[in-house]
Chains A and B, each alone.
Chain A
Amino acid sequence: MMTIAQTGEHAREVHPLQDYIREDRFPHIWCAGCGLGIVLSAFLRAMLQSGLDPDRVAVVSGIGCTGRVAGYIKLDSFHTTHGRAIPFATGLKLANPELEVVVFSGDGDLIAIGGNHLIHAGRRNIDMTVICVNNFTYGMTGGQFGPTTPSLARSTTSRAGNVENPFNIAGLAAASGAAYVARWTAAQVRQMERSIIEALQKRGFSFVEIISPCPTYYGRMNRQPTGLDQMRYYRANTVVRHFASPHEVGVGLGGLIVTGKFVDTERPYLPRGE
Chain B
Amino acid sequence: MTRETSKTVRHDVYVEKEWCKGCRFCIEFCPQHVLYETDETNSRGYHTVAMADNSQCIGCEMCTMVCPELAIHVVTIDGESEQGE
Query: Contact residues of A with B, CB < 8 Å?
Result: 1-7, 11-13, 15-17, 21, 26-28, 30-38, 40-42, 45, 187, 189-190, 193, 226-228, 231-232
Do residues B68 and A30 form an inter-chain contact, with CB atoms below 8 A?
Answer: yes
Do residues A16 and B73 form an inter-chain contact, with CB atoms below 8 A?
Answer: yes
Do residues B85 and A1 form an inter-chain contact, with CB atoms below 8 A?
Answer: yes
Q: A4-B76, A227-B23 are in contact. List 11 more A-B contacts (CB 8 A).
A: A2-B61, A5-B81, A6-B76, A12-B75, A21-B70, A26-B16, A33-B25, A34-B68, A37-B70, A38-B68, A41-B68
A46 to B74, CA, bound (A): 18
Chain A residues with CB under 8 A of B23: 32-33, 226-228
Do residues A190 and B70 form an inter-chain contact, with CB atoms below 8 A?
Answer: no
A134 to B83, CA, bound (A): 36
Do residues B61 and A7 form an inter-chain contact, with CB atoms below 8 A?
Answer: no
Chain B residue with Cβ nearest A41:
B70
Chain B residues with CB under 8 A of A13: 14, 16
How many chain B residues touch the partner (CB < 8 A)?
36
Nearest 6 interchain pairs by C-beta: A37-B68, A32-B21, A5-B81, A189-B65, A3-B84, A27-B19
Query: Contact residues of B with A, CB < 8 Å?
Result: 14, 16, 18-19, 21-25, 28-29, 44, 46, 59, 61-62, 64-71, 73-79, 81-85
Min distance, Cβ B53 to any Cβ of chain A, angstroms: 18
Min distance, Cβ A187 to any Cβ of chain B, angstroms: 8
A7 to B78, CA, bound (A): 7
Min distance, Cβ A112 to any Cβ of chain B, angstroms: 24
Chain A residues with CB under 8 A of B18: 27
Min distance, Cβ A224 to any Cβ of chain B, angstroms: 13
Do residues B24 and A42 form an inter-chain contact, with CB atoms below 8 A?
Answer: no
Min distance, Cβ A183 to any Cβ of chain B, angstroms: 18
Chain A residues with CB under 8 A of B28: 228, 231-232
Chain B residues with CB under 8 A of A34: 68
Known: A13-B14, A21-B70, A26-B70. A38 touches B65 (CB 8 A): yes
Chain A residue with Cβ nearest B66:
A189
Chain B residues with CB under 8 A of A232: 28
Partner of B67, one of A2, A37, A190: A37
A249 to B84, CA, bound (A): 35
Chain B residues with CB under 8 A of A4: 59, 61, 73-76, 81
Partner of A7, one of B64, B70, B76: B76
A119 to B68, CA, bound (A): 30
A32 to B28, CA, bound (A): 15
Do residues B76 and A33 form an inter-chain contact, with CB atoms below 8 A?
Answer: no
Do residues A26 and B19 form an inter-chain contact, with CB atoms below 8 A?
Answer: yes
Do residues B24 and A228 form an inter-chain contact, with CB atoms below 8 A?
Answer: yes
Min distance, Cβ A66 to any Cβ of chain B, angstroms: 13
Chain B residue with Cβ nearest A34:
B68
Chain B residues with CB under 8 A of A26: 16, 19, 69-70
